[in-house]
Structure 1
Amino acid sequence: MRAGYIENHGSVENIKIGDVDNPRIGNLDVIIKTEFAALNRLDLFVVQGWSGLNLKMPHVLGSDGSGIITEIGPDVITDLHVGDRVLINPGIGCGQCSQCLSGRQNFCSKFSILGENKNGTYAEYVKVPSRNVLKIPDSYPFDKAAAAPLTFLTAWRMLVSQAQIKSGEYVLIQGGSGGVSTAAIQIANYFNATTIVTTSSDEKTAKAKEMGADHVINYNQIPNYAKVVFKELTKKKGIDLVVDSVGTVTFNTSLKMLRPGGRLVTCGATTGPKAELDIRSIFWKQLKIFGSTMSNYQEFHDVMKLVLNGKFSPAVDKVFKLEELQDAERYLGESNHFGKVLIQI
């Protein structure tokens, strides 16, 4: 089958398009003919590699995907059939440990993400456990279905499960043009919060407002935006909840904008993982900092129900062909996109 893969770590130029072996189904698996797949920053990190990442090469990239079931394992007992249209939950637990059996799959010691430690979705066919697929309505488009899972499940767990967002709160979303951030804008609106978004251009500002953001700040035009947020937008109250997956560049500013008792939730660090913190501000203001990774299966189903019912709509920026995967990854790395970048298989 045709796939986008690497044979060794390095730069985007290491990504190849060619033939790899078809996946072999397991007793509890399904095989999906992929229609669309979505890019994530994780792709770039996997291509670069990190200490302790030991992949069996060639390694197929890609976490998100949608398609049609073509084969079902003999021990699958769920209501799935060949020909079903499905989207994929990219977070995979072992399904047997105490964490998985208690509904905390993302705490499983063997938890992994498609495209990270397992072959992913940039291929004509992908194998996943049957518990990791969700049927989608005939009317729901494959491109939107591929764009939704990782970003919406991540944002839902961050805002709802971890930070426990409340109606009427001021929620600030750093770097509001990526997949997780555009999902977070919609989720915050769903809970009747006032959303404040930072972004890098007038074009992205307009798109964030179209997405439903109440206030959008172009940080290139207003580098000292923390004062604007505090004095003008929150009337000196401060922010109740900050969503920060940017990391080094924004983390201290995010903490500074929080009101006493405020919360910060993070799922990533695209500009780097290290920041120098004034610990005094954390204990004096009694701040809460939450880490969040992916979601459990219940959270995935909760937010996907809202997506498939039209309450949320994944933002799709641009669609590339599989043969253009290198160009797509470069485009993602330039951070000029708004929403998800997709691959049509």
Structure 2
Amino acid sequence: MNSMPKKMKGIQLIGHGDTEMLQYREDIAVPTPAKNEVLIKVSAAGVNNTDINTRTAWYSKGAGDTDDASWSGNALTFPRIQGADVCGVIVAVGDGVSDSRIGERVLVEPCLREAKGKVLETPWYFGSECDGGFAEYTLVATKHAYAIKSSFSDVELASFPCSYSTAENMLTRANVTAQDTVLISGASGGVGSAAIQLAKARGASVIAITSPSKNDQLLALGADQVIARNADLVDALGENSIDVVIDLVAGEQWPQFLQLLKPGSRYAVSGAIGGALVELDIRTLYLKDLSFFGCTVLEPEVFKNLVQRIERQEIQPVVAESFPLDAMNAAQDMFLKKQHVGKIVLEVC
């Protein structure tokens, strides 16, 4: 650590609210790795829904109360450096970590089961319960820093961790196979576009829901069929036509998903950008023997499998745009317009 700078550039979230709560600074202390931790020099970091949801306290279920506004349902600690998607290089290690890891190019697993030298009872999210990647340097437990050998650029690799691990986890939990027809909502976003590729890698048939302007891009990613997001899904596809729904939207259209699902089929959810409150006829759930999967914490094998798929180039990065670190507000503005396909990434170093 003797050759490490003492200060770094980064974006600090100083409270819940609008983008004025994001402050770009050049005087943040460079962290020191503790036991079983590695210090990563961040090359690039992706922008996600969870960054905005955390900033605006969207995760809080109490009106005006932010005591449960973090990803894990607790109060957020400020200032906080966000950023769950990290590609970088290990530049220092703490006690218990081999010096041979220094110099490794790594991706950070965003769902943390270990932090600050201890196993966590409730998993954390990188950039929520602890500082993340919107800075020149970041810390993580060595077990969550996965070495990656790839010809993809740092910006391209930073598009993978959060979105693709979320999608891979949903497909894993729902046990998607080559025999399945999979319907994906919000298919043009980071997780949705990842789910298209990962479902196709399993040999499944994929139907993607998006706006018509993005049809060609999603077909190019591998979708077998594209449906407009304002369409009557039951009229378009027919009742009992889908084996698995991968849902990132929820909202008013949600009851149609249950009509589409075959008896004995599966529904997995990891987002609610269309509205968190939905209407469920419980009779449909039990009379059709449906299985529901709420997907947040990654299954233990998911990130390792994802890294292997990247290295084998079974999936491709989808980067809509990259911005410098100090252009965070512009990056989030573009993100919120929802006109892009794939990921928006910050170039850090």
With structure 2 as the length reference, what TM-score do the two structures score?
0.88
Letter in 2 for 1:171: V
Inter-partner Cα distance in structure 2 for 1:96 and 1:58: 18
Inter-partner Cα distance in structure 1 for 2:262 and 2:35: 52
How far apart are 1:138 and its partner, in Å?
5.8
Inter-partner Cα distance in structure 1 for 2:38 and 2:324: 24
1:70 aligns with 2:105: no
Inter-partner Cα distance in structure 1 for 2:329 and 2:179: 43
Aligned counterpart in structure 2 of residue 314 of structure 1, from 317, 323, 339: 317
Match of 2:34 in 1: 26
1:131 aligns with 2:143: yes
Letter in 1 for 2:110: P
Q: Over residues 4-39 of structure 1, what are the superposed CA-to-partner deviations in whole Å (9 max), with x where a residue is unaligned? A: 111111012321111322112111111111110001
- Higher fraction of strand: 2
Match of 1:8 in 2: 15
Match of 2:5 in 1: none
Contact 2:37 2:116 in 1 (8 A): no
Letter in 1 for 2:49: R
Inter-partner Cα distance in structure 2 for 1:131 and 1:83: 16
Match of 1:83 in 2: 103
Match of 2:298 in 1: 295
Q: Over residues 172-220 of structure 1, what are the superposed CA-to-partner deviations in whole Å (9 max), with x where a residue is unaligned? A: 0011011111111111111211110000132x11110000000001224
State the aligned residue count.
327
Match of 1:304 in 2: 307
- 1:278-293 correspondence to structure 2 within 5 Å: 278-293=281-296
Please give the secondary structure, in 2, of the residue aligned with 1:94. Answer: strand
Inter-partner Cα distance in structure 2 for 1:97 and 1:3: 24
Please give the secondary structure, in 2, of the residue aligned with 1:165. Answer: coil
Inter-partner Cα distance in structure 2 for 1:97 and 1:75: 10
Inter-partner Cα distance in structure 2 for 1:325 and 1:226: 40
Match of 1:175 in 2: 186
Distance 1:242 1:93, change over 3 A: same
Please give the secondary structure, in 1, of the residue aligned with 2:195. Answer: helix
1:199 aligns with 2:210: yes
Q: Over residues 24-65 of structure 1, what are the superposed CA-to-partner deviations in whole Å (9 max), with x where a residue is unaligned? A: 211111111111000110000111123324333221111111
- 1:174-253 correspondence to structure 2 within 5 Å: 174-202=185-213, 204-220=214-230, 223-230=231-238, 237-253=240-256
1:261 aligns with 2:252: no
Q: Which runs of 5+ in 1 are unaligned?
A: 101-107, 231-235
Match of 2:331 in 1: 328
Letter in 2 for 1:9: H
1:156 aligns with 2:163: no
Q: Over residues 78-132 of structure 1, what are the superposed CA-to-partner deviations in whole Å (9 max), with x where a residue is unaligned? A: x84222211111111137999x6xxxxxxx5331111111111000001111111
Inter-partner Cα distance in structure 1 for 2:50 and 2:240: 36
Letter in 1 for 2:151: S
Inter-partner Cα distance in structure 1 for 2:267 and 2:211: 21
Distance 1:80 1:266, change over 3 A: farther
Match of 1:274 in 2: 277
Q: Which moved more, 1:128-137 or 1:296-305?
A: 296-305
Match of 1:105 in 2: none
Inter-partner Cα distance in structure 1 for 2:207 and 2:281: 24
Distance 1:57 1:176, change over 3 A: same
Distance 1:320 1:306, change over 3 A: same
Contact 2:45 2:158 in 1 (8 A): yes
Aligned counterpart in structure 1 of residue 125 of structure 2, from 93, 113, 118: 113
Inter-partner Cα distance in structure 1 for 2:154 and 2:241: 40
| RMSD over equivalenced CA pairs, Å | 2.0
Distance 1:15 1:95, change over 3 A: closer
Aligned counterpart in structure 2 of residue 145 of structure 1, from 139, 143, 157: 157
Q: Over residues 127-153 of structure 1, what are the superposed CA-to-partner deviations in whole Å (9 max), with x where a residue is unaligned? A: 111111111226332112111111222
Q: Over residues 237-259 of structure 1, what are the superposed CA-to-partner deviations in whole Å (9 max), with x where a residue is unaligned? A: 51111000112233212112111
With structure 1 as the length reference, what TM-score do the two structures score?
0.89
Distance 1:208 1:122, change over 3 A: same
Match of 1:233 in 2: none
Contact 1:39 1:343 in 2 (8 A): yes
Q: Over residues 257-293 of structure 1, what are the superposed CA-to-partner deviations in whole Å (9 max), with x where a residue is unaligned? A: 1111121111121222211111111122121111111
Q: Which moved more, 1:25-34 or 1:268-277?
A: 268-277
Inter-partner Cα distance in structure 2 for 1:26 and 1:46: 26
Contact 1:30 1:72 in 2 (8 A): yes
- Higher fraction of helix: 1
Contact 2:113 2:123 in 1 (8 A): yes
